[in-house]
Chain A
Amino acid sequence: MIDWNPLFLTFKLALITTVLLLIISIPLAYWLAHTRSRIKPIAETLVSMPLVLPPTVIGFYMLLAFSPSNAFGDWLDQWLGVRLVFSFEGLVLGSLIYSLPFMVHPIQAGFANLSPSLQNASYVMGKSKFTTLMRVLLPNMKPSLLTGIILAFAHTIGEFGVVLMIGGNLSGKTRVASIAIYDEVESLNYAAANSYSLILFGITFIILLMVYLVNGGYFTKLGRDD
């Protein structure tokens, strides 16, 4: 029987990361979709960097930054009592950065595709920006939100490089499923590696299939008349 801890840890990490990313990404994506600021290209580049940068690069710099032997890491340790290296909190932070574009891009596209007159209509009806966002904009871009949530969740399940660099391989703390697979293969324990791999394969397949089914309109009859 395999150790279920790495799988449990993987889904805990993916869940926390997804919830936090959703909260961060809605205002960020709204700003990116509407701003005419000159720093917009820079902000967009930074958000998209994790798409192309090797995860080990992100992990490496985070490791350097948060190591207690460095000034910033030391300050975090001394003053806030958080140690982000080789800890679950560190994994969460790394995953937030790593999966950010997968959440921000669909939501930004969702905002950009809404007709500006929806927002204008709500404003002239006396509704605040927040009410407009919650009751008019977000409910009319559910497919974009769903795509963002699922891609960020699935992508966090699949991360390896960042996690290995910043979290290491501590059982029950930072050993997520992808690392457990690597670990089992290294110890020539192919059966266990295969179990983890099959489970991840099946789950990610189902998750992505859901996105395509929902956004492809196969569920519209069920979904529209809610």
Chain B
Amino acid sequence: MEDTSLNWVVMIEIALQKILKSSTGEMKLDLKMQFEEGKLITIYGKSGAGKSTLLMLLAGLMNPEKGYISMGKDVWTDTSKNIFLPPQKRNIGFVFQEYALFPNMTVRENLCFGLGKGQSKAIVDKLVDIIDLGQLQNRKPNTLSGGQKQRVALARALVSQPRMLLLDEPLSALDHEMRLKLQSYILEVHKEFGLTTLLISHDVSEIIRLSDFMIEMDQGSLVRQGNPADMFTNDRVNAKFQFTGEVIGMVKQDFIVIVTVLIGKDLVKVIANDQEASSLEIGDKVLIASKAFNPIIHKIS
């Protein structure tokens, strides 16, 4: 898949404008961005910021009023030339938030449905293998748990061997352990198939773990972009090691507050002073970093 031009890196270029009508009124989606092929990019932002719409526009399931989308030399959308490549021809994998598995088909039939004419079933077997679906192949989607459904949806999106994978909050309905497992699968297929992956996520640790690059959207526009770890941390932290976690308890003792933080599956107790603790609430995402000798704790979202 090497580009024959001098420019070796295939760039994906996006410039889109669309008026979105929702229950809360009209909003203008207006954004412009470009990134290299092969990256894992997270889209972060409040609900209603236009993140899902961006994925729908990329997939061709919606069309913009004005703008273009191109992947290297392939133009998917160009309103000035009236080009609107239908979703069937974009070769995209899409994982929907509500799974969208076909209830009338078994797991294996769901996967095989994505095969093109004359395409070998070898890819189905390979995906079943990578994503550990062997036991589930003959089950109907209604009999699966949320995590199992999402694994099937991930595998199914890759059957047509897409260049780009779009994931619309795929892990938001899953519990912590299942999330970690699915994150590993996403990372694995992203590397294995050399995908360009766009992932919508609200989970800070997920974003830091998975993505090469993140963009933050608000009110239909791109407000910030950059390296996820940099974007979630403050400049005054300059640490050798750091973890993100969630505050699950705070106990005040004399002049200090003992904050209990859940990092992954581990509970960690951190001492904070009154001033630091006053900005914290149970449920906050926090960054724990070591600075000099004492770990410091401070809010990141």
Contact = CB atoms under 8 A, between A and B. Distances in A.
B97 to A, nearest CB: 8
B61 A120 contact: yes
A141 to B, nearest CB: 10
The main secondary structure of chain A at its interface with chain B is: helix
Interface residues of B, number: 26
Interface stretch (A47-55, A123-131, A186-194): A123-131
A135 B157 CA distance: 17
B104 A121 contact: no
Interface in B69-97: 86-94, 96
A123 B102 contact: no
Most buried by B among A118, A123, A126, A127: A126
A64 B241 CA distance: 89
B98 interface: yes
Contact of A139 (B87, B100, B104, B114): B104
Interface string B97-110: 01010111000000
Contacts of A124: 59, 61, 87-88, 90, 92-94, 157
Nearest to B59: A124
A169 interface: no
Nearest to B97: A117
Nearest to B87: A123
B102 to A, nearest CB: 5
Contact of A115 (B87, B98, B157): B98
B19 to A, nearest CB: 15
B114 A125 contact: yes
Nearest to A225: B140
Interface in B52-66: 56, 59, 61
A126 B160 contact: yes
A220 to B, nearest CB: 11
Nearest to A142: B104
Given A125-B114, A126-B116, A135-B113, A120 B100 contact: yes
Nearest to B143: A224
A46 B192 CA distance: 56
Interface in A90-144: 115, 117-118, 120-128, 135-136, 139-140
Contact of B102 (A118, A120, A128): A118
B159 interface: yes
B18 to A, nearest CB: 16
A121 B103 contact: no
Contacts of A117: 96, 98, 100
A125 B100 contact: no
B102 A140 contact: yes
Contact of B88 (A128, A135, A224): A128
A121 B160 CA distance: 12
Interface of A: 115, 117-118, 120-128, 135-136, 139-140, 224
6 contacts: A120-B87, A121-B156, A124-B94, A125-B114, A126-B114, A136-B113
What 5 pairs between A and B have smallest CB-CB spacing? A117-B100, A139-B104, A121-B100, A123-B87, A117-B96
Given A125-B113, A136-B102, A224-B140, 5 more contacts: A121-B102, A122-B113, A125-B156, A136-B104, A140-B103
